[in-house]
């Protein structure tokens, strides 16, 4: 094989690998979303089977449940992005970057705590059975 054909092979292989990267990233994103959807559906089925809500109670409870789930999913996504950002910056991480990452982490923790506290303010007994909302 000549140097030119070796170079052509290497360039072709590199181009093929570069073309596959976005597809792999999309596949990982799709897989994450599919996994989240399956877990959410199974969790909701378990809760529905054990709560035995009337239709009227379900009309109050399920929107609150889904809202809480969406808020916690957004917080989880922020955690994942923070971990990915840390992993990208790990080698050569400056003190300023570390402080910024820690600040972001503390902000995420505060938001998670606020979300959990809000959900405690609306227990099933308060929000569903007595029809009160937060």
Q: Is the pLDDT of residue 49 over 60?
A: yes
Q: Is the pLDDT of residue 17 over 60?
A: no
User: Do 3 and 18 have their domain in common?
Assistant: yes
C-beta atoms surrounding 61 within 10 Å: 20
Domain total of the chain: 2
Average pLDDT over residues 97-114: 96
Q: Is the pLDDT of residue 7 over 50?
A: no
Domain final residue pick, 52, 77, 93: 52
Average pLDDT over residues 69-86: 94
User: Do 72 and 106 have their domain in common?
Assistant: yes
User: In degrees, to the nearest 5, what angle opens at C-alpha 30 toward C-alphas 41 and 12?
Assistant: 165
User: Do 76 and 107 have their domain in common?
Assistant: yes
Find which of 15-19, 40-44, 104-108 is predicted with most confidence, using mean pLDDT: 104-108
pTM (whole model) above 0.85: no
Q: Is the pLDDT of residue 4 over 60?
A: no
């Amino acid at each position: 094989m000549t140097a030119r054909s070796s170079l052509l092979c290497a360039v072709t292989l590199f181009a093929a690998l570069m073309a596959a990267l976005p597809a792999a990233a999309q596949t990982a994103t799709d897989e994450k979303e599919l996994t989240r959807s399956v877990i959410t559906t199974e969790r909701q089925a378990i809760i529905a089977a054990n709560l035995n809500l009337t239709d009227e109670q379900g009309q109050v409870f399920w929107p609150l449940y889904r809202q809480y789930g969406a808020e916690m999913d957004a917080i989880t996504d922020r955690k994942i992005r923070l971990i990915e950002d840390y992993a990208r910056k790990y080698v050569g991480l400056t003190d300023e970057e570390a402080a910024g990452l820690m600040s972001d982490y503390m902000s995420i923790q505060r938001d998670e705590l606020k979300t959990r506290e809000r959900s405690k303010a609306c227990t099933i007994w308060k929000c569903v059975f007595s029809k009160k909302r937060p």
